[in-house]
Structure 1
Amino acid sequence: MICFLGFLALGVPLVFVLGAAAMITLLVTTDVPLTLISQRMFAGLNSFTLMAIPFFIFAGVIMDAGGISRRIVDFSSALIGWMTGSLLHVACVTSAGLAAVSGSGSADVAAVSSIMQPQLRRRRYDVDFSAAMIACAGAMAQVIPPSLTMVVIAVIGNMSIGALFLSGVVPGLLCIGLLLIVSYFFARKGGAQYKEAEPFSFVKLLRATYAALPAFGMPVLIVGGIIGGIFTPTEAAAMAGFYGMLVGLIIYRELKLSDLPQLVLRAASLSAAVMLIIGTATVFSWLVANANVPTMLASWLRSVSESPLMFLLFVNGLFLLIGMFMETIAAILIVAPVLLPIAASFGIDPIHFALVVVFNCALGTVTPPYGICLLVASTVANRSPIQVWKKSFPPILAMVVVLALITFFPEMSLWLPRSAGLLN
């Protein structure tokens, strides 16, 4: 742990921090050969379920290049573009729509920001608040299925990915709803530029809905296929990539066959970065477990309190802190294996616990200094992260309210997977 924190303080990239800390620990404290590192890395990646990650990443890349993102924006604009603060509402609803397609928060924020920021500036909206709102709404891609983060923690905890996906639907949509309310009250006080003169048009909504139907077919394919037992999560991810490619090539015709090699390379490079972190984090997690850290931590927590609620509050505080300094998947890979057995000992449902962790990680993507969604939104808006962060407290407060509801009321996240027969 000293090596881990020391390398982090020096600014070493996280993937090398994990690998170097594991290697030094093995050299100093054991006689185990260093070949164990490569063996553990391979064992950690040798999972059929983890193959869903590159497929989901490819689906997200295809979605952006094939015109799916723009159709979702057009649908959102036709649906709620007549309200006060319309562009803020469109950004929130679009983020929710893209979250149900891509599964990547930073990708959603980049797509929505690129499309919406020129219009926001043209209408003289508050750029910093708009960027903060887009970052918070985009972070819900961690919670609204399909989510790459959920796939990772489900693999670690040997949970049903379908059940975890469904557990995020209600909290994710509730958070988007609260963000819409925050946007509305901000716009009411913002001045004349937030007033929308264009009336609602049912004909425009029908046209936008018709154009967006192929785009909305992707989340139906993914979640419906998994819940219905038609696909495994990996097969559903592969089908999503294939479906997105067909939509872009044949239906929207904004994708060309000549574009595919470049898109495949982009998806491969993004996947390689994620997989390398997973591999080195597996070694680090094995060392932590081998040092009996989970048992010691569980004993300490039980000496402090026997309350499951107190344990969840501790988890919230821990992950909110970690999320400020660490990438989401790495944080889950390092900390979740330690806490999952402890949660089970407190009688906490693993799906409920996993959702609490995932939602905390979503919050971590909008909190500095590492908050990746905040950084992407501020970069596209051509503003500093601090400027955007100063305007982010109202939307972040909305996210904290939903996190509190999830923590105190487990059925809020469990009733949907239970109703689908995925939980007892």
Structure 2
Amino acid sequence: MAALAQATAPPAARSFSFLAERAVLRAMEAVAAVLVVAEVVILLMGVVSRFVFDRPLVWSDELASLLFLWLAMVGAAIALSRGAHMRLSTVTAMLSPAWRLRLDALAVGVPLVFLALLFGPARDYVEDQGFIETPALSWPGSIRAYAMLAGIGLMLLIAALKLLRLGWRDLLVATAALGTLGVVLWAAASALTAMGNWNLLIFFVLLVGGAVLLGVPIAFAFGLATAAYLLTTTSTPLPVVVGRLDEGMSSLILLAVPLFVLLGQLVDATGMARAMVAFLAALIGHVRGGLSYVLLGGMLLVSGISGSKAADMAAVAPVLFPEMKRRGLDEGEMVSLLAASGAMAETIPPSLVLIAIASVTGVSISALFTGGLLPGIVLALALAFLARQRTHEAPTTRAPLAVVGRTFLVGLPALVLPVLIRTAVVEGVATATEVSTIGIAYCAVVGVGVYRQFDWRRAYPMLVETATLSGAILFIIGAATGMAWALTQSGFSQSLARVMGSVPGGQWGFLAISVLAFIVLGSVLEGIPAMVLFGPLLFPIARQIGVNEVHYAIVIILAMGIGLFAPPFGLGYYTACTIGKVHPDIALKKIWPYLGVLTLTLLLLAAVPWFSTGFLP
């Protein structure tokens, strides 16, 4: 987005736009930081009151849910200002600088059009919700609904301010493209309606796919395609889209997203992640492939805390890569293993993808947490076997027992954290949403009091970053929920059920085509958008043909993870290269054996449901 401030825009407009957007951004960041802290305090109070004093706070979940929608919308607005919404940049990166600027202009124009379409319906939605009263607090529902109006209004303002910094040529190209699209859809409305469900290819394949490939933020590509479909071929009012956004973003299960993002940052900032990795390095770092084992073990441990793959890799790689390079490991192999371990750890609880899929399909989050652990370990063992064959590091002496013992004692408080999180959920002390607050409190006490590495100047940026990342994730879930609703209302889900239900091979044919589809979807859409969009459509089919829901969830999440970390489109691959500070071309030829092992092991996991369901109650 920074590229949009071009010299061809009037200097006065650029200056006003920049200063105004910065002022709005600073105000939003302050509000978002307060909301993140409030969510942690409210949920932690609810856990303590219920478990310690046996006096549940009947209003805590309701208040947390209300504030959560405000946090999600303010975070989405901050993400728009910072350019943090998920987008595919692979195609635009291959174009000339001039065309990149034009497509950046389109990446601002699409959100602007979508938000302008929703602003009026958002006001109507507030009025409609005013007649509803919350059960515990007896507050009008409009208090929640105002979060949608405020968030849409803030994003609309930010998009307009960015528009002022566009060069007139780029603005003209973007305006012409969007205007032409609008005129064509309006003129072809009757023909598109007469096409029946074939028009879904126009809106949700060509329009969405084209927008994503051109670098439009994925959430807004989903949203504009949904709005265009409803306006062109149906009589459905747009306040319905606002309601779908609200429904998709405000599930209490999704409150775990910002809390686990914050927990992951605390684990890194307090030095707890480094303590875990140091113990593993002292214990097995001397064996052949030892540091590769440490990387895999570290990813398994940290994945059980942060829930975010990017956070996992950022916590482990900087600690290990310098020593791995010193021992002579190839940079391409290191980054390939890092990317493969990111895909491996997709189902290690509390994965954000597990949380998202539970929110949109109704599958038990506790069952998903239980079912995802063993498949992750099996994949780690398969990668460890391959790493032993491919990595050739300089031999090193075994760490003295005293060093192992010392690093264990230092790392013990950190090693307790993933165990504490899983035990609290399994024993019913806290829900999957609430347990993150226990982890945050534990980090605050142990990380700050024991490790004493936390720089308090990082606290505010961490809170803002939590809101930003969460807003980007939650807004794309809301947009995908609206798009999935439109597909369902069109009858597409029934048609898809008939097609996939008739695939030769019954359950096995359905699982095979699902694996292939989610590898492709994961490479294009990322995990959460793909799951939220297609989960509600495919899980009923899985139930209908007798595939266990937990098993199906684990299989498609892992397939999506392979696609996410597979070049040339997988965004996770480029994230791993960025974190490892290795050019993507260096690892491009090295990563395929790791992805091959992941795929073969996934087929084994798909063929043997016990790996996913064997420990379910």
TM-score greater than 0.5 by the shorter chain: yes
Q: How does 1:268-287 map to 2 (within 5 A)?
A: 268-287=467-486
Aligned to 1:363: 562
Equivalent pair of 2:371/2:550 in contact (CA under 8 Å): yes
Q: Could you tell me which amino acid in structure 2 is paired with residue 61 of structure 1?
A: Q
CA–CA separation in structure 2 for the residues paired with 1:223 and 1:371: 30
CA–CA separation in structure 1 for the residues paired with 2:444 and 2:560: 30
User: Once the 2 structures are TM-superposed, how far is the Cα of residue 274 of structure 1 from its aligned partner?
Assistant: 0.6
Aligned to 1:57: 261
Q: Could you tell me which amino acid in structure 2 is paired with residue 84 of structure 1?
A: R
Q: Deviations for 1:261-287, whole angstroms, at most 9, x for unmatched residues?
A: 221111111111111111111111111
Does 2:214 correspond to 1:15? Answer: no
Equivalent pair of 2:357/2:531 in contact (CA under 8 Å): yes
Q: Could you tell me which amino acid in structure 2 is paired with residue 31 of structure 1?
A: S
CA–CA separation in structure 1 for the residues paired with 2:505 and 2:563: 27
In the alignment, structure 1 segments of 5+ residues that lack a partner are none
User: Once the 2 structures are TM-superposed, how far is the Cα of residue 378 of structure 1 from its aligned partner?
Assistant: 1.4
Within the candidate set 238, 255, 268, 1:34 is matched to: 238
Q: How does 1:142-181 map to 2 (within 5 A)?
A: 142-181=346-385
Q: How does 1:101-120 map to 2 (within 5 A)?
A: 101-120=305-324
Q: Deviations for 1:297-318, whole angstroms, at most 9, x for unmatched residues?
A: 1212233326111000010000
Structure 1 residues 221 and 183, CA gap change in structure 2 (3 angstroms)? same
Aligned to 2:156: none
Q: Deviations for 1:369-404, whole angstroms, at most 9, x for unmatched residues?
A: 332332122123333323212101222222112211
Does 2:551 correspond to 1:352? Answer: yes
CA–CA separation in structure 2 for the residues paired with 1:271 and 1:245: 21
Equivalent pair of 2:342/2:565 in contact (CA under 8 Å): no
Q: How does 1:134-283 map to 2 (within 5 A)?
A: 134-187=338-391, 190=392, 194-283=393-482
Equivalent pair of 2:522/2:560 in contact (CA under 8 Å): yes
Q: TM-score, normalised by structure 2?
A: 0.65
Q: Deviations for 1:298-356, whole angstroms, at most 9, x for unmatched residues?
A: 21223332611100001000001111111110010111111111111111111111111
Higher-Rg structure is 2
Q: How many equivalent pairs are there?
A: 413
User: Once the 2 structures are TM-superposed, how far is the Cα of residue 20 of structure 1 from its aligned partner?
Assistant: 0.7
Aligned to 1:317: 516
Does 2:301 correspond to 1:301? Answer: no
Equivalent pair of 1:167/1:355 in contact (CA under 8 Å): yes
Partner SS for 1:74: helix
- Quick one: percent identity of the two aligned structures? 31
Does 2:598 correspond to 1:373? Answer: no
Q: Which has the higher relative contact order, 1 or 2, with Cα contacts under 8 A spaced 6 or more apart?
A: 1
Aligned to 2:145: none
Equivalent pair of 2:354/2:369 in contact (CA under 8 Å): yes
CA–CA separation in structure 2 for the residues paired with 1:132 and 1:318: 23
Aligned to 1:123: 327
Equivalent pair of 1:294/1:342 in contact (CA under 8 Å): no
Equivalent pair of 1:75/1:209 in contact (CA under 8 Å): yes
Within the candidate set 395, 400, 411, 2:594 is matched to: 395
Structure 1 residues 167 and 216, CA gap change in structure 2 (3 angstroms)? same
In the alignment, structure 2 segments of 5+ residues that lack a partner are 1-203
CA–CA separation in structure 1 for the residues paired with 2:370 and 2:569: 28
Equivalent pair of 1:352/1:414 in contact (CA under 8 Å): yes
Equivalent pair of 1:112/1:134 in contact (CA under 8 Å): no
CA–CA separation in structure 2 for the residues paired with 1:79 and 1:358: 32
Q: How does 1:20-99 map to 2 (within 5 A)?
A: 20-99=224-303
Structure 1 residues 294 and 306, CA gap change in structure 2 (3 angstroms)? farther
Partner SS for 2:434: helix
CA–CA separation in structure 2 for the residues paired with 1:140 and 1:245: 29
CA–CA separation in structure 2 for the residues paired with 1:216 and 1:197: 25
Q: TM-score, normalised by structure 1?
A: 0.93
Equivalent pair of 1:26/1:32 in contact (CA under 8 Å): yes
